[in-house]
Amino acid sequence: MNTAKVFLRRVCAAESPEQWGQAAQDVLEASQTLEFIRKRDLIAVKLHVGEPGTTTFLPAEVAAGVVRCIRAREARPFLTDSCVLYSGPRSNGAEHAEVAARHGFCLERTGAVFVPADGLEGNQERIVGIDGNHFREVGVAALIADADGLVVLSHATGHLSAGYGGTIKNLGMGCASRKGKLLQHSDTKPRIRRDACTACGACVEACPERAIMQDAQGIAAIDDPLCIGCGECIAQCRSDAVRFRWDSASHAMQEKMAEHALGVVRHAKGRLTFLLGLVNLTQDCDCMGCRSPIVARDIGFAVSSDPVALDQAAFELVRAAENQTLDKLSYPLLDGAHQVEYAERLGLGTRRFELIEV
Ligand code: SF4
Ligand code: SF4
């Protein structure tokens, strides 16, 4: 059975964003996984610029470290991400670019500009054939598919519906077109328990799709066809009245995400690598527009040419530091490891890895 190499550069407590950027650059160079880059290639750096209100996304200086590596090879980097499903500034290309600039993802701080990956309205995609169990083809954001190569810069966090979000999620959900994201969320529609609802209305206000109605007593209910499964209502409800159907929804979404990740990797034909930030390890992903609690100590930056090995390493590194994996520290009812196991079964990579500290 194959074993993948995972390179790790540890960081100390309270290092600056500039030190994180240098750590990212050092581990990328040490990994020698950028050899696919040729002179003048247009290289996409797929990242997350952070939802407004979030402060724990990977700072622009980390992207700057990646950009320096690409420019050192005389290639042409650009920063990119796809539109989100829920309404808000990151749901269209123009405002997404504004958020990127406000959060420092600009030429001055990173050495590259942000270009939306799937156009103004999230509908520019390339269809890639795969041999999955849920899908025979998936939609990849056009610029990510069209680039000459890809550096996938991900942030390891907990996740409201997947339990864990890291490399596979950034590839599968983050690189998917809007249609692809909708297909991945098709099973993750929450339910509101009438007996637990206190009629406060917070979920109604938070729902980006106006999919929640209140009856005459103020008790909330979700209109399924309108719901995109974003999970905002779960985050807002203080009465624990809104829940996913944990039995099937999370596993199905993780599998669909892994199949979309497979589409991105297949299309790139080896012209990509993966960098994972194991810092600011928060309960929620960077899409939540609020401060999310830190659930584990900073570890460092890891690189691999195998996305499955990299996420498996994240599980094991956090467990070694905290006696518990990131999904269990964040959402104990969820099994975030399912995406990694399923991705391995799909042939996306291996969970067996050799850790090389640099
Ligand atoms: S936030 Fe929770 S308690 Fe408040 S209306 Fe919605 S479901 Fe009911
Ligand atoms: S998951 Fe909740 S907040 Fe999101 S669209 Fe559905 S009902 Fe609205």
Atom of ligand 2 nearest to the CA of 223: 7
Residues contacting ligand 1 via CB (< 6 Å): 192, 197-203, 220, 236-237, 239, 241-242
Local structure of 33: helix, strand or coil: coil
Residue 200 Cα, ligand 1 centroid: separation in angstroms?
5
Domains annotated for the chain, with CATH where assigned, are: 4-184+248-357 (3.40.50.11440), 191-243 (3.30.70.20)
Single-letter code of the amino acid located at 329? L
Strands 163-165 and 157-159: antiparallel
Q: Is 235 in the pocket of ligand 2 (CB under 6 A)?
A: no
Long-range contacts of 36-41 (CB under 8 A, 24+ apart): 36/149, 36/270, 36/271, 36/272, 36/273, 37/70, 37/73, 37/75, 37/149, 38/73, 38/75, 38/148, 39/73, 39/74, 39/75, 40/74, 40/75, 40/76, 41/73, 41/75, 41/76, 41/148, 41/149
Residue whose CA is closest, atom 6 of ligand 2? 227
Residue 31 parent element (H or E):
helix 17-31
Q: Where are the beta strands (DSSP E) in 148-271?
A: 149-155, 157-159, 163-165, 191-192, 212-214, 220-222, 242-243
Residue whose CA is closest, atom 5 of ligand 2? 227
Give pLDDT tens digits along the chain (358 positions).
Answer: 689 999 999 999 889 999 999 999 999 999 999 999 999 999 999 999 999 999 999 999 999 999 999 999 999 999 999 988 766 788 889 999 999 999 999 999 999 999 999 998 888 999 999 999 999 999 999 999 999 999 999 999 999 889 999 999 999 999 998 788 878 887 777 889 999 999 999 999 989 889 999 999 999 999 988 988 777 787 788 888 988 665 568 899 999 999 999 999 999 999 999 999 999 999 999 988 888 899 999 999 999 999 999 999 999 999 999 999 999 999 998 999 999 999 999 999 999 999 999 9
| Predicted-assembly ipTM surpassing the 0.95 threshold | yes
Q: Is 209 in the pocket of ligand 2 (CB under 6 A)?
A: yes
